[in-house]
Amino acid sequence: MSKKVIGHLILCCIFVLAGCAAIRQEQPRNPSEPFEDEFIIVRASQWDTIPYLAEIFLHDRSKDWMIRECNGLEQSEPGQGLAIPMKPFAFGGLTAEGYQTVPILSYHKFSKDRSDKLTVTEAAFKAQMEYLRKNDYRVISAEQFIAFLDFKDQIPKKSVVITADDGWDSFYDIAFPILKEYGFPATLFIYTDFIGTNHAVSWEQLEIMSKQGLDIQCKSKSHRNLAVLKKNESPKAYREEVEKEISFPTQLIAEKLGKKCSLFAYPYGESNSFIAETLKKYGYRAGFTLTGGDNPFFVGNYMIHRYPIYGQHELEEFKNNLAVFREENLK
């Protein structure tokens, strides 16, 4: 090898090293270091979008809203100084004018073209998801919602939670692909006796969806109305049945999907204090009804409201279920 070639090689190495240094210096941030501060200040470069900054500093691209809300702006401009909140800076969505509420939507069955009370068509479901996206609603996970209830984390101002009940096969065939397309998280409450039967999803399908991010939670074993005493059922037998309806599916879901359930949807949406106590005993942190209504942070964790979405609902009626703020003078 001639000296000239060696010289050029050395030069190349120097350039590469110099370039590396420059790249490293462009990002003088080490996001893995724990931040003591409530927030840090960065100057956005021309390549820094707000979701990118959220990914770098908050390790979650979808937390872009935190940066937007903290700085009171929609987009960053090159050279602009931005505060990146490293900790939640507002809890419970409380303002002087009122408080935040979170609508929770509850679906059951889906169909390509047939709708009835509990069956929503593919087109209608898609239109509803599109409405949420176009109107800047943020679909959050049930886990995030529980953190909001417990005053442990803050959530976007226009937060919505999507849930589906029972475990119908049409959820796997129709709803789940649409949710994936929109990147919306969702929770599926299953009653375990139904799984693997006609019209229901299989455990394999549940495993696939779980691996792809679907949150699978519990809705009893047999879907009996837990708040109702059966004919000739003694109170003792009733209590034993309620315990079984809660404990058995918890174990089965853990065995089949390797995950611990912490949320429970009451069959037919009905509950009482004994059921809530039994849920606490088995480590459940929340119980979901089928009664439509507001969910401010101070709603009871075992009496969470959900709006049932019916197949006959037009988009206009769907919109009525999306209130995200209740006005009240809190000055």
Q: What angle do CA 316, 140, 75 make, to 5 degrees?
A: 90
Window of 18-26, 46-54, 130-138, 248-256 that interacts with other proteins by CB under 8 A: 18-26
**Closest distance to other proteins from the beta carbon of 301 (Å):** 8
Q: Is 204 in the site for other proteins (CB under 8 A)?
A: no
Give the Cα separation of 164 and 152 in Å (integer): 25
**Closest distance to other proteins from the beta carbon of 307 (Å):** 16
Among 49, 59, 114, 183, binds other proteins (CB under 8 A): 114
Q: Is 239 in the site for other proteins (CB under 8 A)?
A: yes
Q: Is 153 exposed, middle or buried (0-12, 13-18, 19+ CB in 10 A)?
A: middle
Q: Is 225 in the site for other proteins (CB under 8 A)?
A: yes
Give the Cα separation of 162 and 141 in Å (integer): 8
Give the Cα separation of 50 and 52 in Å (integer): 5
Q: Is 298 in the site for other proteins (CB under 8 A)?
A: yes
Q: Is 318 in the site for other proteins (CB under 8 A)?
A: no
Query: Cα dihedral angle (174, 176, 179, 185), rounded to 10 degrees?
Result: 150
Among 30, 36, 41, 327, binds other proteins (CB under 8 A): 41
CA-to-CA dists, residue 319 to 106, 124, 248, 292, angstroms: 14, 13, 37, 13
CA nearest 242: which of 215, 280, 206? 280
H or E element: which one contains 225?
Answer: none
Both structure tokens of 212: 């792809």
Cβ nearer to other proteins, comparing 229 with 315: 229
Window of 38-46, 123-131, 156-164, 211-219 that interacts with other proteins by CB under 8 A: 38-46
**Closest distance to other proteins from the beta carbon of 183 (Å):** 29
| DSSP-derived 3-state class of residue 138 | strand
Among 92, 185, 196, 292, binds other proteins (CB under 8 A): 92
For residue 173, what are the contacts with CB-CB under 8 A and spacing of at least 6?
A: 110
Q: Is 273 in the site for other proteins (CB under 8 A)?
A: yes
Q: Is 94 in the site for other proteins (CB under 8 A)?
A: yes
Window of 49-57, 140-148, 247-255, 296-304 that interacts with other proteins by CB under 8 A: 296-304
Q: Is 277 in the site for other proteins (CB under 8 A)?
A: yes
Give the Cα separation of 251 and 259 in Å (integer): 9
Q: Is 26 in the site for other proteins (CB under 8 A)?
A: yes
Window of 40-48, 123-131, 202-210, 212-220 that interacts with other proteins by CB under 8 A: 40-48
Among 78, 81, 177, 183, binds other proteins (CB under 8 A): 81
Both structure tokens of 117: 């009370």
Among 61, 133, 223, 285, binds other proteins (CB under 8 A): 223
**Closest distance to other proteins from the beta carbon of 140 (Å):** 20
**Closest distance to other proteins from the beta carbon of 193 (Å):** 11
Among 10, 123, 254, 315, binds other proteins (CB under 8 A): 10
Q: Is 256 in the site for other proteins (CB under 8 A)?
A: no
Cβ nearer to other proteins, comparing 199 with 319: 199
| DSSP-derived 3-state class of residue 217 | strand
Q: Is 281 in the site for other proteins (CB under 8 A)?
A: no
Cβ nearer to other proteins, comparing 78 with 283: 78
CB burial string 104-131: b at 16+ within 10 A, e below: bbbbbbbbeeebeebbbbbebbbebbee
Give the Cα separation of 254 and 12 in Å (integer): 56
CB 263 within 8 Å of CB 246: no
